[in-house]
Structure 1
Amino acid sequence: MFLAWLAEHATEPDTSVLRRVHGLVPLTGHSASTTAWQLAEQLQLSARTPGELLAAVAQDQRRTVIVLPDLHQSTEPEAVEELACALAAFAHVRVILETRQPSPVLLAQAPAVMDLTHPQWTDPDRQAAWAATTPAAEQGRTPTGPDHQAPLDLDDPASVCAADPLLVTASYEHTTNPHGGLRPAWLRSGPSLSRPQDPASRACVLRAALGDDADPRLRGALETLAQESGWSVRWNRVRGDINPPWPGPAQSMSTSPVSQHRSLAVLDHQGVVRLLLADDGHPLGRLTHPVTEASAITVADDETTIILGSDGRLSLHKSPTATRPHGIAGLLDQSPSIWERLLQEAAPNTGITALTSGHDQLATGDRDGTVHVLAWNNTSIEHNSTALHNATVTALATVQISAGSSLVYSGGQDGRVRLWATDREPLPSPVAERDCAVVALAAAPAEDGITLAIGWADGLVEYSTTSPDSGTSRRTFRPGPPVRALSLLPEGDLVIGTDESLICLQPR
Structure 2
Amino acid sequence: MTAGAWARPAAGREPAGAALLGWLADPTAPRLCLVTGSENSGKSQLLAWLVTHSTRPGTAPERRVHGFVPLAGQGVRTALWTLADQLGVAARAPGELLAELSADPRRTVLVLPDLHTATEPGALADIVGALADLEHVRILVEARTGHEVIAALRALSPAEMDLDASQWTDPARAEAWQAAHPTRHESTTPGTESTTAPVDLDDPVEVCAADPGQVTTAYEADTESRDGLRRAWLRAGQSLMRDQEPADRALVLLAALGDRADPRLSPPLERLAAGAPWRLVWSRVRGDVTPPWSGPVMALTVTSGSLPEQLLVADHQGTLRSLSYSDATPVGRLPGLAPDALGLVCLPDATVVVLDGDGRLHIHRAPTAPGPSGLAALLDDGPGAGEQAIETLSTAVTHTRITALGASEHAVAVADHTGRVYGVFLSDPGRLVAAEHLHEGPVTALAVADVPVAASQPDVSLVYSGGADGRVRVWGPGKKPMDVPVAERATPVRALAARMTASGLTLSIAWSDGLVEHRRLDAAERRTFHPGHPVNVLALTRTEELLIGTDELLTCLRPA
Which sits farther off after the overlay, 322-331 or 484-493?
A: 322-331
* Conservation of the 8 A alpha-carbon contact between 1:418 and 1:431: yes
Aligned pair partner of 1:6 in 50, 58, 81:
50
Helix, strand or coil: the match of 1:51? helix
> Which residue number corresponds to residue 365 of structure 1?
415
Residues 333-368 of structure 1: CA deviation (Å, up to 9, x unaligned): 323210111122123224211111122321000111
Q: Distance in 2 between matches of 1:108 and 1:24?
A: 23
* Conservation of the 8 A alpha-carbon contact between 1:487 and 1:494: yes
> Which residue number corresponds to residue 474 of structure 1?
526
Structure 1 counterpart of 2:543, which letter? E
Helix, strand or coil: the match of 1:278? coil
* Conservation of the 8 A alpha-carbon contact between 1:29 and 1:166: no
2:140 pairs with 1:96: yes
2:255 pairs with 1:208: yes
The structure-2 alpha-carbon separation of the partners of 1:385 and 1:142, relative to structure 1 and needing over 3 Å to count, comes to: closer
2:548 pairs with 1:501: no
Q: Residues 343-358 of structure 1 correspond to what in structure 2 (within 5 A)?
A: 343-348=390-395, 349-350=397-398, 351-358=401-408
Q: Distance in 2 between matches of 1:139 and 1:435?
A: 36
2:486 pairs with 1:414: no
Tell me by how many angstroms 1:117 deviates. Answer: 3.4
Once superposed, what is the RMSD of the aligned Cα atoms?
Answer: 2.0
Which sits farther off after the overlay, 141-150 or 478-487?
A: 141-150
Helix, strand or coil: the match of 1:429? coil
Q: Distance in 2 between matches of 1:21 and 1:379?
A: 52
Residues 21-62 of structure 1: CA deviation (Å, up to 9, x unaligned): 111111122112221111111111121011221222122111
Q: Distance in 1 between matches of 2:126 and 2:203?
A: 34
Give TM-score, length-normalised by structure 1: 0.94
Residues 145-187 of structure 1: CA deviation (Å, up to 9, x unaligned): 7854343111110111111212211221223321111011111
* Conservation of the 8 A alpha-carbon contact between 2:73 and 2:192: no
Which sits farther off after the overlay, 177-186 or 334-343?
A: 334-343
Task: Give unmatched runs, 5+ long, in structure 2.
Answer: 1-44, 453-457
Q: Distance in 2 between matches of 1:288 and 1:374?
A: 27
The structure-2 alpha-carbon separation of the partners of 1:488 and 1:139, relative to structure 1 and needing over 3 Å to count, comes to: closer
Helix, strand or coil: the match of 2:242? coil
> Which residue number corresponds to residue 436 of structure 1?
491
Helix, strand or coil: the match of 2:92? coil
* Conservation of the 8 A alpha-carbon contact between 2:228 and 2:262: yes
> Which residue number corresponds to residue 126 of structure 2?
82
> Which residue number corresponds to residue 318 of structure 1?
365
The structure-2 alpha-carbon separation of the partners of 1:111 and 1:278, relative to structure 1 and needing over 3 Å to count, comes to: same
Structure 1 counterpart of 2:95, which letter? G
Aligned residues: 501
Q: Distance in 2 between matches of 1:334 and 1:315?
A: 20
> Which residue number corresponds to residue 520 of structure 2?
465
Q: Distance in 2 between matches of 1:27 and 1:378?
A: 60
Aligned pair partner of 1:425 in 468, 474, 480:
480
Tell me by how many angstroms 1:284 deviates. Answer: 1.5
Q: Residues 82-161 of structure 1 correspond to what in structure 2 (within 5 A)?
A: 82-101=126-145, 103-119=150-166, 120-121=168-169, 123-132=174-183, 134=184, 141-144=188-191, 148-161=195-208
Residues 353-399 of structure 1: CA deviation (Å, up to 9, x unaligned): 11111223210001111000011336853523111011111110011
Q: Distance in 2 between matches of 1:126 and 1:391?
A: 52
> Which residue number corresponds to residue 445 of structure 2?
395
Aligned pair partner of 1:180 in 227, 237, 244:
227
The structure-2 alpha-carbon separation of the partners of 1:379 and 1:212, relative to structure 1 and needing over 3 Å to count, comes to: closer
Helix, strand or coil: the match of 1:65? strand
* Conservation of the 8 A alpha-carbon contact between 1:270 and 1:294: no
The structure-2 alpha-carbon separation of the partners of 1:145 and 1:199, relative to structure 1 and needing over 3 Å to count, comes to: farther
Tell me by how many angstroms 1:308 deviates. Answer: 1.1
The structure-2 alpha-carbon separation of the partners of 1:410 and 1:140, relative to structure 1 and needing over 3 Å to count, comes to: closer
Q: Distance in 2 between matches of 1:3 and 1:315?
A: 54
> Which residue number corresponds to residue 302 of structure 2?
255
The structure-2 alpha-carbon separation of the partners of 1:398 and 1:270, relative to structure 1 and needing over 3 Å to count, comes to: same
* Conservation of the 8 A alpha-carbon contact between 1:278 and 1:489: no
The structure-2 alpha-carbon separation of the partners of 1:383 and 1:139, relative to structure 1 and needing over 3 Å to count, comes to: closer
* Conservation of the 8 A alpha-carbon contact between 1:22 and 1:42: yes
* Conservation of the 8 A alpha-carbon contact between 1:446 and 1:465: no
Tell me by how many angstroms 1:449 deviates. Answer: 3.4
> Which residue number corresponds to residue 89 of structure 2?
45
The structure-2 alpha-carbon separation of the partners of 1:316 and 1:16, relative to structure 1 and needing over 3 Å to count, comes to: same
Tell me by how many angstroms 1:491 deviates. Answer: 1.1
* Conservation of the 8 A alpha-carbon contact between 1:376 and 1:382: no
Tell me by how many angstroms 1:141 deviates. Answer: 4.7
* Conservation of the 8 A alpha-carbon contact between 1:32 and 1:76: yes
Q: Distance in 2 between matches of 1:410 and 1:457?
A: 15
Which sits farther off after the overlay, 105-114 or 480-489?
A: 105-114
* Conservation of the 8 A alpha-carbon contact between 2:448 and 2:464: yes
* Conservation of the 8 A alpha-carbon contact between 1:374 and 1:384: no
Aligned pair partner of 1:219 in 242, 261, 266:
266
Helix, strand or coil: the match of 1:202? helix
Q: Distance in 2 between matches of 1:296 and 1:388?
A: 19
Tell me by how many angstroms 1:327 deviates. Answer: 4.5
* Conservation of the 8 A alpha-carbon contact between 2:313 and 2:321: yes
* Conservation of the 8 A alpha-carbon contact between 2:240 and 2:252: yes
Task: Give unmatched runs, 5+ long, in structure 1.
Answer: none
Which sits farther off after the overlay, 101-110 or 321-330?
A: 321-330
Helix, strand or coil: the match of 1:441? strand
Residues 44-91 of structure 1: CA deviation (Å, up to 9, x unaligned): 112101122122212211100001111122111111122112212221
Which sits farther off after the overlay, 226-235 or 110-119?
A: 110-119
Tell me by how many angstroms 1:294 deviates. Answer: 2.6
Tell me by how many angstroms 1:93 deviates. Answer: 0.7
Q: Distance in 2 between matches of 1:339 and 1:231?
A: 35
Helix, strand or coil: the match of 2:214? helix
2:88 pairs with 1:33: no
Give TM-score, length-normalised by structure 2: 0.86
